[in-house]
Structure 1
Amino acid sequence: MARQDERPAIVLASRDERTLHLVGTELDRRYGRDYAIVRCRPESAHDLLTHLRDDGTQVALVIGATEDDDGIDVLGAVRELHPAAVRIVVVTWGRFDTAERVFDALGAGRIDHYCVRPEHPRDEEFHRLVTESLEDWSLAVGGGFEAVRIIGDPSAAISHTMRDLFTRNHIPIGFHDAHTERGRELLEAAGLVNPALPVVILRYKPEPTVLVAPTFPQIAEAFGLTSPLPADARFDVTVIGAGPAGLAAAVYAASEGLRVLIIERQAVGGQAGTSSRIRNYPGFPQGVTGNRLAFSAFNQAWSFGATFHFMRGARGLRVDGADRVVDLTDGTSVRSSAVVIASGVEYRRLGVPALEELLGRGVFYGASVTEAPAMRGRRVVVVGGGNSAGQAAVHLARFATHVSVLVRGQVAASMSDYLVRELAALATVDLREGVEVTGGGGDGRLEHVLVRDRATGALSREEADGLFALIGSEPMTGWLDGSVARDAQGFVLTGADVPGGSITGPDGTARPPMMLETSVAGVFAVGDVRYGSVKRVASAVGAGAISIQLLHGYLEDLRAVDPH
């Protein structure tokens, strides 16, 4: 029997009458039309959430209160029933004695957020957190507006790549299995019979555009993202890469009136954009998703007038007089006075042929937040011992029945303490040190992995429906061959690390390179691509900002030589 109320639910659990009245009234006024606001006592919350699950009702938020001794405990049990639901605890202003309990719960991953109880109507600080939480929930479960509709084979690697790329670029999509009745209906409605997959339909246009098995450049062209630059286009600075460092450089450069071009081959945010939650970024005490942080910076740079060039990468860098020329993968070139290299890194491969064959079919490199909901009820392996691996494991634990985190060495050597503690507090997470993945396989998709104990050599077979590898990184600098100095691993050398300790300035004389300047004057490197960089988002943002201040000094030297 179909439910009469199809609205998702917001559950408020408390036995404190004032909390029920104040919070419940605010929820009713602001969200009651789109969400079913359900009140209950903490002792009946589990039964209520079970009933909602069995009834097919999605639960977006569950809100508890520190006024109840068991208010936080209620939230800790939500994940097993509604893994995508966001858990918020309401604290009463002035009850500072509850702070330790709240922070401990936040650190252990038993709650997602806390907020101060609204004591008056229109408490916008309260509503801001609720609204952002609802947005996070909506992105996790999907099912909203489908600006782009993809019809394809869910087991194909290209389907995973497309979903991930669109989602990371904040494009609302809907994915439909071509082999289901709904998928066949959509293909028939588009006038297609047994087409090559995937089919991509751009639905936001007055006349929908249908693309059959398109390449990414073809998708970008259909979106209007590949309009060629004018032949005489020239910029003050070209930024290669739209990760945190590149976006910060773009924001500061554009806000200071420089003509800025940003080249991005995939999606804004880089590796940080795939992080489910960054807890140690200053100014976000309850954490921020990498995607939200990156997309906000993208909008900021865009609003200041920066130009973005998507779906192409850099394939070469050369000097032509005062110009730094970047050759692009689409065959074009761009000229600018200076260049900021922020091309980032990519995850190192496992080097296991049997697993490489299953790429996109249960085997993924990176956090792949878009795949997490598909792991509901499944067993997952995360390979890696850094912060990215820890964040991926915490997020996957929302959906998977079991998450094994496999680390070659000691996790404490590379993962922040807050993440180690959060993983230890999750009952469904198993953290194993001194092990490595040596094999695996399955019938068409991943079904198991082989794990070797590095101390004893003993092999074990583990059932696994998903493997997410985050095992270190390699700089994306192959395109710099013959242009700027790099170390043996390919990381760009800057400042005092530049061989010889001097470079040729605009006036033709030798001088020491500036702190973030490479072996080529006017070319700077920031973020993970730089030798010796600190692998943290905040440090990448800081370096991006600093590079623009240094770049101004270079432009002044350039103008002193050639005022034009």
Structure 2
Amino acid sequence: MSGTEPGSGPGTALVVVARDEGLRTATVCELERRYGTDYRVVSGTDPGEVEALLHDAGDPPVAALLGALGEADPDGLDVLRTCHAGHPGAMAVALIRWGDFDTARPIFEAITVGQLDRWVYAPQHRADEEFHRSVTEVLDEWSSRQGGGFEAVRIVGDRWDPHAGHLRDQLTRNRIPTGFYEAGSPEGRAVLEDLGLTQPRLPVVVVRFRPERTVLQAPTDLEIAEAFGLFDPLDPDAVHDVAIVGAGPAGLGASVYAASEGLDTFHLECEAVGGQAGTSSLIRNYLGFPTGVSGSRLAFSAYQQAWAFGTRFSFMRTAASLTTEDGLHRLILNDGCTVRARTVVVATGAAWRRIGVPELESFTGRGVFYGAAVSEAPAMGGRHVFVVGGGNSAGQAAVYLSRHAERVTLLVRRASLTETMSEYLIRELVALPRVDIRYRKQVVGGSGSDVLERVVLRDLDTGAETEEPGMVFVMIGSEPRTDWLAGTLARDRWGFLLTGSALTADDAAPAWPLDRPPALLETSTPGVFAAGDVRQGSVKRVASAVGEGALAVTLVHAHLASLAAIR
């Protein structure tokens, strides 16, 4: 079975290329049986045969290329790369027999340098659900890259309006299916006409998933939350066991463990779940995800897990201040509401540090972006993009943007990436043809009319400056989100919260009020803990943040037990 007759399926193709006839036949049969209604399955023994069949079928878009690697296909990765060159938007997937362990090293190497997206084991029997789970994950990833499909929310606005960009970023990070329409495009005008809007205040947001279709004009975050049904009134008399502020990895880790262990858990998040990690297009070094996981998917799964255990979430509200009286903590929110809890976990994380170039500030959201690579990447087609930063977040953004932009340049102040970026990510960046890395370079200026059009770069060794066309994504470190705690909790000079032994150090201000020593993650207010990037001395890794969140819950239990003993 080396081919599929033209016209035998719908418009998008799944391609299998393998000389191993048994493996190819079994794979094609399973794909056709499970996916034949929605996809056209095309198979061949080499790239030439596959391309001829696709041409005869009208050159449909290809969702996935499954290329065999094994005894009959020793050059399978080269064959797959040849096929992928003609269909760069497809997922490149190695197809192997179970137990063929000799293929592991070349597959891992190909994934590391960005030449392969995933691998799957060929089906072992009819209705091999393990095989289909892997294929479904591949198709889900391909679909998310393409956009389109179901639109729970529609936004009509100007592409480079910062408000519209903020909304796109928030909805994308919260994994809400969103369609964006340029207000001046035929499609955008058609949406506005259908809504009966002639001179709307942009951006217009249409909430389509609720029984009553809600249309908002230039909405605030609070109005969005209310339209989504997320802005439930808070009970001013409720006293929670723990209130968690911030839903990044640390906060979500705390939420899952607190709720699963029976604590009355309240969780406040002012933006989107995931924090900075939620903006990462692919996290490859998180435990348990051998082919990687997007930050938004990881965060949203954790949110669902905490919600299922009973955590009560409140979105789009911001903590404005924290007070403590008689051992009871009160969070005063930006809308005037108050949340009371016996313990608090502060996991507000950090915000991207601003680039510090005055003439670029006016272009924020219009060619200068802070951490919004996933939501803004589709608009970078045909453009030169500069990514500023030398950490993993900058590297992951460069990889993701290279799927859309014509060229991506990573600008690094240091002379090397070895001390700031994971080795696997450096190797992937070096191997990507659309990415180049420039060391000892800094952005010092820029210009444009409505959007940023040109960027001024300075060589930090020679002082020479050059000007090049392009847009900028900035990921140059972070600043803790602790301004709302100034004067309440002890902080270091950079604003990070002091915890544990740092509160009793010789050079620390008299910040700890009790005779007992503070717990490891306890702040200067007993019963208030800090976890993740907001804490001085934290390790800037997702896994460590989740671990700190879990540890904070252990300390919460101990504090609650001490309160019970006093009573």
Conserved 8 A contact 2:344-2:529: yes
SS across alignment from 1:33: coil
Counterpart contact for 1:84–1:399, Cα < 8 Å: no
TM-score normalised to structure 1 length? 0.94
Residue 60 of structure 1 corresponds to which residue in structure 2? Answer: 63
CA deviation after TM superposition for structure 1 residue 42, in Å: 2.9
Distance 1:160 1:58, change over 3 A: farther
Q: CA deviation at 1:57?
A: 3.4
Q: Secondary structure at the match of 1:194?
A: coil
Letter in 2 for 1:453: D
Structure 1 distance, partners of 2:479, 2:114, is: 31
CA 1:522–1:503 in 2, change beyond 3 Å: closer, same or farther? Answer: farther
State which drifts further: 354-363 or 452-461.
Answer: 354-363
Percent identity (aligned)? 52
- Assess if the C-alpha contact under 8 Å between 1:434 and 1:455 holds in 2: yes
Give the alignment's TM-score, normalised by structure 2.
0.94
| In structure 2, C-alpha distance between the alignment counterparts of 1:218 and 1:439, rounded to whole Å | 36
Rounded Cα–Cα distance in structure 1 between residues aligned with 2:411 and 2:308: 43
- Residues 391-446 of structure 1, C-alpha deviation per residue, up to 9 Å, x if partnerless? 11111112222110000012111001111111111121111111111111223112
| CA spacing shift, 1:48–1:548, aligned 2, 3 Å | farther
Q: Structure 1 CA distance, aligned partners of 2:242 and 2:379? A: 41
The alignment partner of 2:518 has SS state of coil
Between the aligned partners of 2:58 and 2:271, the Cα distance in structure 1 is: 40
Confirm or deny: 8 A CA contact 1:152 1:177 kept in the other structure.
Answer: yes
Tell me how far 1:79 sits from its aligned partner: 6.0
The aligned residue for residue 293 of structure 2 is: 288
Residue 418 of structure 2 aligns to a residue whose secondary structure is: helix
1:543 matched residue in structure 2: 548
Show the counterpart of 2:433: 427
Instruction: Determine if contact 1:83/1:399 at 8 Å carries over to the other structure.
Output: no
- Larger deviation: 69-78 or 244-253? 69-78
Residue 319 (structure 1) aligned with residue 324 (structure 2)? yes
Structure 1 residue runs of 5 or longer lacking an equivalent are none
Indicate how the Cα distance of structure 1 residues 478 and 26 shifts in structure 2: closer, same or farther if over 3 A, else same: same
How far apart are residue 56 of structure 1 and its match?
A: 7.2
2:29 matches 1:35: no
Kindly indicate whether the alpha-carbon contact (under 8 Å) linking 2:158 and 2:164 is maintained by their aligned counterparts in 1.
yes
How has the CA–CA distance of structure 1 residues 135 and 317 changed in structure 2, closer, same or farther, with 3 Å as cutoff?
same
Structure 2 Cα separation of the partners of residues 149 and 78 of structure 1:
35
- Does the 8 Å CA contact 1:78/1:85 hold for their aligned counterparts? no
- Contact between 2:346 and 2:531, CA under 8 Å: does it hold in 1? yes
Tell me the CA shift for residue 74 of structure 1. 3.6
Question: 1:372 Cα deviation (Å)?
Answer: 1.5
Does the CA contact (< 8 Å) of 2:94 and 2:118 recur in 1?
yes
> Separation in 1 of the partners of 2:54 and 2:449?
34
Could you tell me how far 1:77 is from its partner in structure 2?
4.9
Supply the AA of the counterpart residue of 1:326: L
Aligned pair in 2 of structure 1 residues 468, 81: CA closer, same or farther (>3 Å)?
farther
- Give 1:523 shift: 0.6
Over residues 365-400 of structure 1, what are the superposed CA-to-partner deviations in whole Å (9 max), with x where a residue is unaligned?
Answer: 014212222223322111100000111111111222
Listed one character per residue, the Cα deviations across residues 504-550 of structure 1 (whole Å, up to 9, x for unaligned) are 68xxx521001111111111100111100000000000110011011
Is the 8 Å Cα contact of residues 340 and 524 (structure 1) preserved in structure 2?
Answer: yes
Going from structure 1 to structure 2, the CA distance change for 1:119 and 1:321 (only over 3 Å counts) comes to same
Partner of 2:4: none
**1:209-255: CA deviations, max 9, x gaps?**
11111111111111111112012122110101000000000000000
- RMSD (Å), alpha carbons: 2.0
Structure 1 window deviating more from structure 2 (301-310 vs 420-429): it is 420-429
Pair 1:437–1:79, CA change in 2 (3 A): farther
What is the rounded CA distance, in whole Å, between the counterparts of 2:270 and 2:55 in structure 1? 46
Q: Which amino acid aligns with 1:30?
A: R
Structure 1 segment 110-189 matched on structure 2, within 5 A: 110-189=115-194
Count of paired positions: 555
Quote the offset at 1:71 in angstroms: 2.0
**Aligned counterpart for 1:411 among listed residues 402, 407, 417:** 417
2-side partners of 1:185 and 1:91: how far apart?
Answer: 48
The superposition leaves residues 252-281 of structure 1 with CA deviations (integer Å, 9 ceiling, x where unpaired) of 000000011111010001111111111111
**Aligned partner of 1:438: which letter?**
V
Distance 1:152 1:57, change over 3 A: farther
Residue 454 (1) aligns with residue 485 (2): no
Output the CA distance in 1 between the equivalents of 2:160 and 2:90: 26
Give per-residue Cα distances to partners, 1:479-499, cap 9 Å, x unaligned: 101111111000011111114
Residue 87 (1) aligns with residue 85 (2): no
Shift of the 543–382 alpha-carbon distance from structure 1 to 2, 3 Å rule, reads same
The superposition leaves residues 328-380 of structure 1 with CA deviations (integer Å, 9 ceiling, x where unpaired) of 11121100000001000011111112222111122210142122222233221
1:111-510 → structure 2 map (5 Å cutoff)? 111-409=116-414, 410-464=416-470, 466-499=471-504, 509-510=514-515
Give the secondary structure class of the aligned counterpart of 1:510.
coil
Which has the higher mean CA deviation after the structures are superposed, 304-313 or 182-191?
A: 182-191
| Cα-to-partner distance string for 1:21-79 (whole Å, 9 max, x where unaligned) | 11111111111111121223333278469959x96733221111103233212443566
1:19 corresponds to which letter in structure 2?
L
Give the conservation status (yes or no) of the 8 Å contact 2:169–2:372: no
Aligned pair partner of 1:14 in 5, 11, 18: 18
User: Residue 82 of structure 1: CA displacement?
Assistant: 4.1
* In structure 2, C-alpha distance between the alignment counterparts of 1:51 and 1:175, rounded to whole Å: 32
What is the CA deviation profile of residues 178-231 of structure 1, one whole-angstrom value per residue up to 9, with x for unaligned ones?
112221121111111121111111111222111111111111111111112012
Separation in 2 of the partners of 1:380 and 1:522?
Answer: 46
Distance, in Å, in 2 between the alignment partners of 1:543 and 1:254 is: 16
Structure-2 separation of matches of 1:396 and 1:110: 15
